[in-house]
Structure 1
Amino acid sequence: MSSRIIYGPILSRRLGRSLGIDIIKKSDFRKNCNFDCVYCQLGHVDWKISTPSEATDLVTTEEVIDSLANYHKKVDDLDYITFSGTCEPTLNLELGNMIEQIRNISNVPICVITNSSLVNREDVRNNLSKADLVVATLVSGNEDTFQAINRPAEGIELQDIIKGLKQLQKMKGPKVAIEIMLLDSNNGYLTNSSDPEIDKQIEVLKFIDPDEIEILTISRPPAEDFIIPVTETRLKEIAQKFDEELGRERVRLVLKGLKRKRSNIEHENLTDEVYDLILRRPCTFDQVVQSLDIDNEELSPTIEGLVDDQKIIGISSENGTYYRAV
């Protein structure tokens, strides 16, 4: 099944109602990334791309603009247009031009969600600087923890990322939010929610000085089954420490359970839309209903058909059954 460049809208804990753009085409690989994170909701990376020069089958600026201009849904309350999906968007060096061209046809704020891997590159920072919001991942201030959690391609080092994020923040272009995905494990695997880890994260965040710090834990089934969520009690303890050290006005604790009034969306091919959404963001049945503004009775046969055709599978978790693309 082919997938479109544009997908969603997604109802996000962080961004509200967001229309996604995936700028590396799904070719032979389910994911196009230079990380193989233990917590990734999309599963493992088959082949880690080291640099933009290794990325193939890239979406062009013209394809993005054409897809947005001809997108058949009418969504009347978007909060963001977001570059994310099955790829690390900064691997496509057309990103900055895409953002500039989108502004000619839309007034919706533009966000880029990045794993921060390439922010040491000036061309990547220039591209990111054109967005309204950059949500950049930083799981640890320690190299060994970073390597254990993100499992990056060879040559990607934490100190380069930290220095690149500092340079991005100094550009005073987009609002820069640092996302800290806090993890625990059930087998002693190295994770980032201990007191020493939190102290180091605070030290690094003081150096970067971002506009916002987002603290959250996993809510979807991760790539590794030994990775588990941090408890809500522990999250709140950590958030309190961040408040004290970094300022309550910029620390945001992101918890599950977002609810929002549904939009008016016109559907052309519901099966494709559901698949496109689940391909980029594993969802429960109810999350698909909320994001795409459809009724339970309308969605049930679509989900059943995709499962029967082995396009998606159900994965059980403590938060319910999530559907993930095969």
Structure 2
Amino acid sequence: MTKRIIYGPILSRRLGRSLGVDVIKTLETKKNCNFDCVYCQLGHVPLKITRTDNVKGVVSPEEVVEGLRTYHKNIEDLDYITFSGTCEPTLNSGLGEMIKGIKEISPHPVCVITNSSLVDKENIRRNLSEADLVVATLVSGYEETFNAINRPAEEITLENIINGLKKIRRMDKRPILSIEVMMVDSNIDFPVNHTEREIEKLKEVLIEINPDEIEILTVSRPPAEDYIIPVSDDRLKQIATEFENTFGKERVKLVLKGVKKSHSKMKHGNIEEEVYDLIMRRPCTFRQISASLGIDDKELKPIIGRMLSSESIEETTVGEKNYYKIS
């Protein structure tokens, strides 16, 4: 199957009903990124991208606008248009122009989900300034923990990331800045980031950055490494309380498992391609696919069956849930 630029919508724990935009379309790898995070739902990065000019298969602003022009009209109830998918969106230097183009044809707010790797660069911050919301990852205030969890490409440092995030917050024209703190636990000896030492350092760094929002969440889909497990809800609630005491309840969002949004309402084209496009960006359960794309269970079941038979997707079990992912 081809890899389409526009996919979803996805029922996001954070953003509601979110239509995805994927700005690198190379099929040579399932994932185009300069991180190889231990918790990533898309698995390993075979080759980490080190520079924006090393990216292959970049999508143009014109392709994004044209793809969105037809696709989003089929969906009645979007909350966000979100740059994410199988790549780190800031690796595409045309990101700012894409956002401008989207705003000319759509009333929906635009979000960029970024791993924060390039925010120390002025042109990247300029691109991000066109968005309504930027959700930027920060897993630790310690370089060694950051390196263990995010496994960045060479020359990417936590110090540069922190400095870049501080500069975003100080821009005259800027998006809402939300810092995503992905908490991970492990069933082996691994530098996890939910200890009191880690939380104290994170609070120290976040005071410097001064974001508009802080999102606390944990792994909810099959991670790249099987030794990574979710942090318990009880511990997440404790951490959220610590952050609320420092930053105020209005700035802290605890994102727990489960989506409260109802099924999407959308007109379908090629349903099998829509299902494949969704699973390519994130492993999903049967129920998540049905709810995200608004497909009746009876219609979805034979589609999943055909895709499993053709080995375009495969099934994996994590905990008590069965997920479908790209083979």
TM range, smaller chain: over 0.9
- 1:157 counterpart = 2:157: yes
State the AA in 1 paired with 2:108.
V
Q: Do residues 251 (structure 1) and 215 (structure 2) align?
A: no
286-295 or 167-176, which moves further after superposition? 167-176
Q: Letter of the 1:62 partner, please give it.
A: E
1:70 Cα offset (Å) = 2.1
The alpha-carbon distance between structure 1 residues 164 and 218, as it changes in their structure 2 partners (threshold 3 A), is same
Deviations 1:223-270 (A, max 9, x none): 000000000010001001001011111000000111222232111111
2-side partners of 1:46 and 1:305: how far apart? 28
Q: Does residue 122 in structure 1 map to residue 105 in structure 2?
A: no
Instruction: Answer yes or no: is the 8 Å Cα contact 1:17–1:79 preserved in 2.
Output: yes
Structure 2 SS opposite 1:268: coil
CA RMSD of aligned residues (A): 1.0
For 1:251 and 1:305, the matched residues in 2 are separated by: 43
Answer yes or no: is 1:200 the counterpart of 2:201: yes
Letter in 2 for 1:47: L
Contact 1:215 1:239 in 2 (8 A): yes
Contact 2:132 2:176 in 1 (8 A): yes
SS of residue in 2 equivalent to 1:127: helix
| Aligned 8 A contact 1:219 1:319 in 2 | no
Residue 241 of structure 1 aligns with which residue?
Answer: 242
Match of 2:272 in 1: 271
1:267-287 per-residue CA deviation (whole Å, 9 max, x = no partner) reads 111100000000001110000
Aligned to 1:92: 92
Cα distance per residue 1:151-178 (max 9 Å; x no partner): 0001100000000000011115100000
| 2:71 alignment counterpart | 71
Correspondence for 2:31:
31
Contact 1:41–1:221 at 8 Å: present in 2 too? yes
Distance in 2 separating the partners of 1:72 and 1:165 = 31
Give distance in 2, aligned partners of 1:314 and 1:202: 39
Distance 1:146 1:95 in 2: 26
**Partner residue, 1:187:** 188
Structure 1 regions of 5+ residues with no counterpart?
none
Q: Tell whether the 8 Å contact from 1:242 to 1:251 is kept in structure 2 after alignment.
A: yes
**Structure 2 SS opposite 1:70:** helix
Percent identity, please.
Answer: 58
Check conservation: 2:285, 2:321, Cα contact below 8 A: yes
Structure 1 SS opposite 2:29:
coil
One-letter code aligned to 2:234:
T
Deviation at 1:72, TM superposition (A): 7.1
- Residue 170, structure 1, aligned to residue 179, structure 2: no
Bigger shift: residues 157-166 or 65-74? 65-74
Aligned residues: 326
Stretch moving more, 138-147 or 304-313: 304-313
Question: One-letter code of the match for 1:134?
Answer: V
For 1:51, give the aligned amino acid.
R
| Deviation by residue 1:161-212 (Cα, 9 ceiling, x = unmatched) | 0000000111151000000000000001111011000000000000000000
Instruction: Provide the residue aligned with 2:102 in structure 1.
Output: 102
CA distance in 2, matches of 1:202, 1:57: 38
| TM-score normalised according to structure 1 size | 0.98
Give, in whole Å, the separation in 1 of the partners of 2:232 and 2:86.
28
Question: 2:36 touches 2:48 (CA, 8 Å); kept in 1?
Answer: yes
What is the alpha-carbon distance in structure 1 between the residues aligned to residue 270 and residue 55 of structure 2? 30
Deviates more, 1:171-180 or 1:131-140: 171-180
**2:9, 2:264 within 8 Å by CA — same for their partners in 1?**
no
Look up the equivalent residue of 1:281 and give its one-letter code: R
For residues 65-104 of structure 1, what are the alpha-carbon distances to aligned partners after superposition, in whole Å with 9 as ceiling and x for unaligned?
1111122761111000000000000000000000011111
Q: Mapping of 1:268-307 within 5 angstroms? A: 268-307=269-308
Give the corresponding residue for 2:60: 60
Q: Deviations over 1:7-51 (max 9, x none)?
A: 000000000000000000032111000000000000000110011
Q: Distance in 2 between matches of 1:72 and 1:51?
A: 31
Which residue identity is paired with 1:248?
A: K
Check the 8 A contact 1:35/1:48 in 2, yes or no: yes
Structure 1 moving runs of 4+ over 6 Å: none
Matches within 5 A, 1:11-50: 11-50=11-50
For the Cα contact (< 8 Å) 2:307–2:313, is it kept in 1? yes
